């Protein structure tokens, strides 16, 4: 992924916007593949090309269930697994993004400092033409997730070698306070189990993007959003 690639992907996204209304591009990929970095980068580049207010970055992460809900379900220890998200809520939000172009639509965001989703965090104003939605399970072929793909103008899958993803995940988990041993165990057991399901969904994507990095352009972005 180079800055040229990022520019090409932003132009590709922009070309999907209809004359009236808006288009959603969905970016899927395993934990640590680089989805968030890519989605923010593309949304930012679209705004440089088409003007401020034309693109919104929309993470599926805002649909994490609250910690109290995960406790009640006995799923807190597997936070990030497919059944620890409000998938139906995410589908409904994407439908609203396409249907409600005359009023603001507010999406929740995942707030890492409190480890909880926060409602009303991401405004999608009427002028938005491109929404870059991003998350683990966008291409999973089971309800409610299977309802997402028909809402997307295109879907991109970020493919990154497992070894590189593991390195990034251990780094992330240790930065967020886990011991190196606990970080490695979480990356292997929890993230690893989720990745099996996610990688199996790659064939449903319109385009596969190499997320292994190494270029100046996206490395800079990666550092800015780490």
Task: Kindly provide the b/e burial profile for residues 68-94, where b requires at least 16 CB atoms within 10 angstroms of the residue's own CB.
Answer: eebeeeeeeebebbbebbbbebbbebb
The interface partner of residue 226, options being ligand ADP, Mg ion, none and the CB cut-off 5 to 8 Å by kind, is ligand ADP
- Stretch of 30-38, 42-50, 178-186, 205-213 contacting Mg ion, by CB under 5 A: 30-38
Residue 89 touches which of Mg ion, ligand ADP, none (CB < 5 to 8 A by kind)?
none
Whether 127 contacts 47, CB under 8 Å? no
Beta bridge partners of 107: 122
Which residue, 81 or 98, is less far from ligand ADP as judged by CB? 81
C-alpha 74: how far from chain center = 25
Binding residues vs ligand ADP (CB under 6 A): 1, 29, 31-37, 168, 172, 211, 213, 218-219, 222, 226
Question: Does 30 engage in binding with Mg ion (CB under 5 A)?
Answer: no
Q: Which is nearer to ligand ADP, 69 or 219 (CB)?
A: 219
Region for residue 51 given its phi and psi (left: phi exceeds 0; alpha: psi -120 to 50; beta: otherwise): left
- Please state the closest distance from residue 78 (CB atom) to ligand ADP, in A: 17
Question: Exposure of 5 by Cβ count < 10 A (0-12 exposed, 13-18 middle, 19+ buried)?
Answer: middle
Region at 115 (left for phi over 0; alpha for psi -120 to 50; beta for the rest): left
Given a contact cutoff of 8 angstroms between Cβ atoms, the answer to whether 98 and 24 are in contact is yes
- Residue nearest ligand ADP by beta-carbon distance: 213
In the list ligand ADP, Mg ion, none, the entry touching 108 (Cβ below 5 to 8 angstroms by class) is none
Smallest distance from the beta carbon of 23 to ligand ADP, in angstroms?
A: 21
* Number of residues located near Mg ion, criterion CB under 5 A: 1
- Single residue of 30, 33, 36, 155 touching Mg ion by CB under 5 A: 36
């Amino acid at each position: 992924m180079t800055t040229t690639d990022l520019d090409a992907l932003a132009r590709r996204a922009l070309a999907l916007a209809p004359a009236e209304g808006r288009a959603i591009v969905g970016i899927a990929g395993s934990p640590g593949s680089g989805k968030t970095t890519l989605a923010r980068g593309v949304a930012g580049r679209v705004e440089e090309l088409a003007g401020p207010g034309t693109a919104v970055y929309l993470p599926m992460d805002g649909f994490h269930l609250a910690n109290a809900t995960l406790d009640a379900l006995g799923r807190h220890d597997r936070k990030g697994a497919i059944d620890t998200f409000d998938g139906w809520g995410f589908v409904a939000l994407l439908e609203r993004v396409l249907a409600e172009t005359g009023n603001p639509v507010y999406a929740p965001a995942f707030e890492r400092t409190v480890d909880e989703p926060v409602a009303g965090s991401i405004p999608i104003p009427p002028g938005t033409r491109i929404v870059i939605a991003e998350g683990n399970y966008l291409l999973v072929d089971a309800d409610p997730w299977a309802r997402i793909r028909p809402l997307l103008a295109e879907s991109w899958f970020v493919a990154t070698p497992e070894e590189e993803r593991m390195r990034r995940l251990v780094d992330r988990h240790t930065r967020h306070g886990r011991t190196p041993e606990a970080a490695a165990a979480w990356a292997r057991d929890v993230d690893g189990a989720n990745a099996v399901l996610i990688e199996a969904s790659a064939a449903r994507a319109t385009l596969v993007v190499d997320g292994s990095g190494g270029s100046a352009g996206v490395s800079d972005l990666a550092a800015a959003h780490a």
